[in-house]
Amino acid sequence: MMDRHRLSNVVITVFSLSLVACLSPDLVSAQLKRNYYANTCPNVESIVRNAVTQKFQQTFITVPGTLRLFFHDCFVNGCDASVIIASTPNNQAEKDHPDNLSLAGDGFDTVIKAKADVDAVASCRNKVSCADILAMAARDVIALAGGPSYAVELGRLDGLSSTASSVNGRLPKPSFNLNQLNAIFAANGLSQTDMIALSGAHTVGFSHCNRFANRIYNFSPQNPIDPTLNRAYASQLQSMCPRVVNPTIAINMDPTTPRTFDNVYFQNLVTGKGLFTSDQVLFTDSRSKPTVNAWASNSQAFQNAFVAAMTKLGRVGVKTGRNGNIRRDCGAFN
């Protein structure tokens, strides 16, 4: 028979294991820290920032391209740079799923160039993950476009898997209503406030016409044009996106200040100039409308909420230990 001392040890051990199981999602973020590379690659942030700045000077698409890449990466199996992996004859990777085909090449290029610059420093070579470089680059493009800068938590490893099938149902669609948006963000531990803040990144976004054509041509039998859409803006969109349109044509999501990261996105929603259904619904649904109104009139409040939401997004599904590694080439597994 087990003595009382051994029994209490077993009970404590079992309790400890169950506690770890309960806490494990938070342990991931506890392993991320701001100065993670202080001893291995102390200048990593300035190396990445310089590479991103160079790319930004070549094309503004660096901004929305890199931001969207980070978002699409984190929402599919976590922030692990799995979206950057190229397909092979034996594996169709995330980037080739239909929902990812519109990711701008300039976003991928930004990370690959920054990785090359980091690895060009002998002490940094193969020490910094592609996942962390993407997180830093996302922060840097926001600042370059006039938005807030913030300290990025680091210490993610790169993922060991990337499949197109894993993307199914993980990304929000332009047609989503508030319930659908809240559900898909909640699945990643993000609140309605986080969702509205991250939607604000559309202030520097662009879209192809097919993503919103239903709102300007065939919304419903009664209303060919979505009645929540500003009429003058709808006419403008029709002239830029005729029914038969070149699929490469891209439209700014913020018609007012498309190259500045600001709160004008929310001011546009108030006047019916949200490009997607999933944008405009933030104003038309009474549950999210007060937040839109608040941020339309208070830029600092939006920026604070955006930084908080980006930090939470950066903690989603982080890989540590045996669940990841540091890729030598961001586009291929080691």
The residues annotated with a catalytic role in the active site are 72
Outline where DSSP puts E strands in 99-216.
158-159, 206-208
- Residue of 188, 191, 212 whose CA lies nearest to 70: 188
| 73 marked among binding-site residues | yes
Write the single-letter amino acid at 79: C
DSSP 328: S
Give the up-direction half-sphere exposure of residue 232: CA atoms within 13 A in the CB hemisphere: 3
Gap between the Cα atoms of 149 and 164, Å rounded = 33
45 is in an annotated binding site: no
Cβ pair 126, 44 in contact under 8 A: no
3-state helix, strand, coil in the chain (%, to 5): 55, 5, 40
DSSP 8-state class, residue 94: G
CB 268 within 8 A of CB 237: no
Is 202 labeled as ligand-binding? yes
Q: Distance (Å, rounded) from C-alpha 215 to C-alpha 244?
A: 15
Coil, strand or helix at 317: coil
Instruction: Give CA–CA dist 172/225, Å, rounded.
Output: 22
- Is residue 13 marked as binding? no
Question: 250-252 and 324-325 as β-strands: parallel, antiparallel, unpaired?
Answer: unpaired
Nearest to 97 by CA among 181, 160, 163: 163
Question: Binding residue per annotation — 172?
Answer: yes
Q: Is 208 labelled a binding residue?
A: no
Contacts of range 230-239, beta carbons closer than 8 Å, 24 or more positions apart? 230/271, 230/272, 230/273, 233/272, 233/273, 237/212, 237/275
Q: Please give the C-alpha separations between residue 333 and each of 96, 120, 159, 192, in angstroms, as whole numbers.
A: 16, 20, 9, 35
Residue 312, both tokens: 């939470």
Q: Are 86 and 93 in contact (CB under 8 A)?
A: yes
| 76 labelled binding-site residue | yes
Residues belonging to the binding site for substrate are 172
Q: Can you say which residues are annotated as belonging to the binding site for Ca(2+)?
A: 73, 76, 78, 80, 82, 94, 203, 254, 257, 262
Binding residues for heme b: 202
Annotated binding site: 73, 76, 78, 80, 82, 94, 172, 202-203, 254, 257, 262
